Amino acid sequence: MSTAINIAQVHKYYGNLYALKGITLQIERGEFFGLLGPNGAGKSTLINIMAGLTRANGGRVSILDHDVAKHYRFARRCLGVVPQELVFDPFFTVREVLRIQAGYFGLGPENYAWIDELIDALMLSDKADTNMRALSGGMKRRVLIGQALVHKPEVVVLDEPTAGVDVELRKSLWAFIERLHNEGHTIVLTTHYLEEAEALCDRIAILNHGQVIALDTKEALLARDIGGKRSLHVTLARPLDPIPSALRSIVKKELGYEIVFELNNESVSILDVVDSLRQAGATILDLQTEKTDLEDIFIDLIQGKAS
Ligand SMILES: Nc1ncnc2c1ncn2[C@@H]1O[C@H](COP(=O)(O)OP(=O)(O)OP(=O)(O)O)[C@@H](O)[C@H]1O
Ligand SMILES: [Mg+2]
């Protein structure tokens, strides 16, 4: 068995809103998988179906071969889910919340050492005996991550775990999630920070309007042709006025000494730009091209342009 999560033809309606239009995806064991897409694409709906919190109207989902609808308890035991929404009982302390959660899986004091390890790894040691209501938003999110991991699930699904989390904490959360991945956990992550998905994920699915519009390795996605577009940043010794007419149509941004051109393979080359600028009497101090990143690919896919 090498498939961690098997999603086959999953459909979901909320009334007459068609939220998932037949999703089919396999996530392999040990993968670091990214689930990306704009607001409302259906990511959380899919995750809630995996977690058995929402029922699909059609299709099936299994976690390590346990069907989430038919064998809910087995499937649930293999899975740790960090939900997008922060929901807590405010009257329990961090340690109590984690112990109660472990209790749902039939785990008692034999699991306390692991809970302490989690508290430590999530940098919550000095808040372990603080009531949930007295934690900041980022700290609450760390407790949610702890809750998902109390039973050491093989498959960990994180729905925007870093939303609203400061830069430093985000970095330490990523280090922790990477550690889990290195220890053999399968990780599924949704995030709106595309540079994070680019840094962490092996494979990425992009959802839009309830459909998978791209599913590929990160490398293959980044190698996609998005019309040969790239940016050329030019720094000049003096502002150039006017910009040569041959170049005006490709100016993306102009800030005095700095001009950003958008190049398209078919029309104007870097050399054409340099020649035109020189002929216009400009002195070029610096030239930089910007390579495609996941954000460019994402935007093109969402707008339906990429191949
Ligand atoms: N409980 C619900 N009842 C009715 N409609 C819902 C419910 N939950 C989600 N939806 C709708 O389903 C669609 C998908 O929502 P979902 O939360 O899955 O999106 P998402 O990809 O997680 O977005 P985000 O990036 O904003 O978290 C949206 O149109 C949303 O309004
Ligand atoms: Mg969501």
Binding site membership of 12 for ligand 1 (Cβ less than 6 Å): no
Distance 297 CA to ligand 2 centre (A): 21
CATH class of 3-222: alpha beta
* pLDDT score recorded for residue 195: 85
pLDDT in tens, 256-298: 899 998 887 667 788 889 999 999 999 999 998 876 778 878 8
23-27, 156-160, 234-238, 298-302: range with lowest mean pLDDT: 298-302
Whose tokens are 């959380």? That residue is 44
List the residue whose alpha carbon is closest to atom 17 of ligand 1: 44
Q: Is the pTM of this model over 0.85?
A: no
Look at the domain 229-291 and name its fold.
Alpha-Beta Plaits (3.30.70)
What is the atom index within ligand 1 of the atom nearest the CA of 54?
A: 1
Domain boundaries, the chain: 3-222, 229-291
Ligand nearest to the CA of 45: 1
Distance 46 CA to ligand 1 centre (A): 9
* pLDDT score recorded for residue 265: 61
pLDDT in tens, 71-90: 999 999 999 999 988 888 88
pLDDT in tens, 60-74: 999 999 999 999 999
pLDDT in tens, 139-154: 898 999 999 999 999 9
* pLDDT score recorded for residue 2: 87
* pLDDT score recorded for residue 307: 47
Binding site membership of 40 for ligand 1 (Cβ less than 6 Å): yes
Binding site membership of 17 for ligand 1 (Cβ less than 6 Å): yes
